[in-house]
Amino acid sequence: MSKRLLKAEDLYVLNSITNPQLSPSGEEAVFVRTSIDEEKNKYIAHLFHLDLTSGAVTQWSYGEDRVSSPTWSADGRNVAFVSNRNEKKQIYIISKNGGEARQLTTLANGVSQFQWSPCGQSIWFSGRLKEGKNFTDVAEKEEKKKPTAYIVEGMKYKADSIGLLSQDSYNHIGKIDVASGDIELFSEGNHNYSLEAVSHDGKKLVLSVNRAENKDFDFSQQLLLVDIETKKETTILNEEGNYGDAYFSYDDRYIAFYGGNHSYKNATHGAVYIYDTEEQNYRNLTEGFDAPIGDLAVADHQQGATAPTVVWTKANDLYFQVSTMGDIRLYYATLDGAIYPASPENEHVYGYDIERDGAFALLAISNPIMPGELFKYDVTTGERQQITHFNDAFVNEVELVQPEAITYKSSDGFDVYGWLMKPAQYEEGKKYPLIVEIHGGPHAMYANSFFHEMQLIAAQGYGVLYVNPRGSHGYSQAFVDAVRGDYGGGDYADIMAGLDAVIENQDWIDTDRLGVTGGSYGGFMTNWIVGHTNRFKAAVTQRSISNWISFFGVSDIGYYFSDWQIGTDMKDVEKLWQHSPLKYAENVETPLLILHSEKDFRCPIEQAEQLYITLKSMGKETQFVRFPDADHNLSRTGLPNLRIERLNQITGWFEKYL
């Protein structure tokens, strides 16, 4: 029986399987399945239990809300998780023996993080508190108030997906007694704390905090080892950069944590660091490893997929994800710095946990023609067994296109990697249009992962080319840094060289029907492309940057991101203008569809407004689509109906002009 073509509405059919967590015994696990309720236009995430001996999968939570962060107690009797079933995110506990989940916290502002105390009798957590308040204070009754002025003094006053930041509340650490519900406030002062780790003996915490008075240009992170009884702090490190996500070894001697200094600003490769609590020093375990630690892939399917930076075994070996050569693979390391790949190529390990003795792993795996399932994986033999089958019906019913990996040389000798998809139901001898997709970041990467949007475009009868130009993660530090200060230079050349390479080698591509699209940095590049070449017959720019001069002041990150990426600030507006696609608007002859979210604080909608009005005033072929109640992440986590509308706008524009 022939398979059907994929549709935009298949978003409602797909299941996102994430967050596998092995029990202390290694005999069972929990995970989260997220789906979309079309009628209610919302995401629903439930907790599931997995018996690894029998393979039985059992749903543990129900309702119309979302759960996240499932975590076993040290004795394996209970699982705590976060749910928004009562509006604010609160901690719930469910027994492995069954029964209803019990709500543990009723905090006025909800919970942002939590970790079990090893004794199982209490849970450490973090949440926001107004200045002078305690977690035990009763929530003030919400009354309709008159609007008040928001007085801005600092530069970090807003954030995408949040809006204006609270000026009188801070993230604090507390501990709650599981039996009584009594809460103790642990952290002090008007600072934002992050709970990073709890030691296995229950005597120490790792916290991160920035106590600088003026944080506008201060990107330092202080990582602290704190004695719970005395509150004595030992500084693990205090440096410019991004550090945190710590994990104690089972013997509590070592603390592994994630970090990246600011040598290359936000293009710096993330690394695994090891702190020795006896020697009181730290070192970069992956220093000689020229690839970033963690999952840097961009896609549009997985919901709430989080993975630990590091998982220890009892033998003090470590496992972690590495983004490398278009894959996200599991790697194994020893404390003396030996590092080896522990999972195969050509896939995306987007979640994992390791049995304590290192006997096996539980992996959440996706590839371009598999949306994602859980697998039990023997890290020694490489044998694997698929455990969940939530997306089997979809895979068996829908024709999915396997991309072909490509490699080519850019104009200045860089090796560039990417993928080419033929149209679904491709027929030899026919000519087909081709769409070039460009990812955001720019320090992200396309990967060997399922991408609903790519498959949809192929199902519409287009070939799809997507590459990782310079600036993309997953390759060398030199490669990811090469875009900084050169937006529209070598990165543009990389993309166009990829187009030339596939046209030369694939006679099915109709060079008179080429399209291009991308979002965020990919939107910038789409704007840049149509201002510098007429090769494309249609283009769709999404959540884009068009004017670096105004971006400096309107983006939530603009005032420092512009310097990090373009290499200057408002002291040199000529350079900002030189790299602004808006400067080249008069050259645009490609019909351009402009898509933008109303609540995008990362690339604010004024970027789209400037571009649209400028092009329209010049008599160019363009259209502007605004999405209400959507932020910078519309394509990934936006309201489901708006995600469908966005996809229809993209395919409709290409259908009209190609």
**How far is residue 500's CA from residue 168's CA, in Å, rounded to a whole number?**
55
- Told to judge if 49 belongs to the known catalytic residues of this protein, a careful annotator would answer no
Give me 505's structure tokens: 């080698």
Q: Any residues with CB less than 8 A from the CB of 618 and at least 6 apart, and which? A: 585, 586, 588
Q: Do residues 520 and 301 make contact, with C-beta atoms less than 8 angstroms apart?
A: no
Helices (H), 521-639: 521-530, 548-554, 558-566, 573-578, 606-617, 634-637
Single-letter amino acid, residue 374:
L
The 3-state DSSP class for residue 430 equals coil
Q: Do residues 519 and 550 make contact, with C-beta atoms less than 8 angstroms apart?
A: no
Give me 490's structure tokens: 């070598």
Peptide bond into 442 cis (omega under 30): yes
Q: Any residues with CB less than 8 A from the CB of 152 and at least 6 apart, and which? A: none
SS (HEC) of 115-179: EECCCCCEEEEEEEEECCCCCCCCCCCCCCCCCCCCCCCCCCCEECCCEECCCCEEEEEEEEECC
**How far is residue 279's CA from residue 617's CA, in Å, rounded to a whole number?**
67
Q: Do residues 8 and 449 make contact, with C-beta atoms less than 8 angstroms apart?
A: no
Catalytic hit among 439, 473, 579, 632:
632
Print burial letters for 304-335: b (CB count within 10 Å at least 16), e (below 16): bbebbbbbbbeeebbbbbbbbbbbbbbbbbeb
Catalytic hit among 520, 544, 562, 597:
520
Strand order in the sheet with 415-421: 404-409, 415-421, 463-468, 432-438, 509-519, 538-542, 592-597, 622-627
Side-chain half-sphere exposure of 288, counting CA atoms within 13 A: 6
- Told to judge if 632 belongs to the known catalytic residues of this protein, a careful annotator would answer yes
Which of 541, 635, 652 minimizes the C-alpha distance to 593?
541
**Active site amino acids:** 520, 632
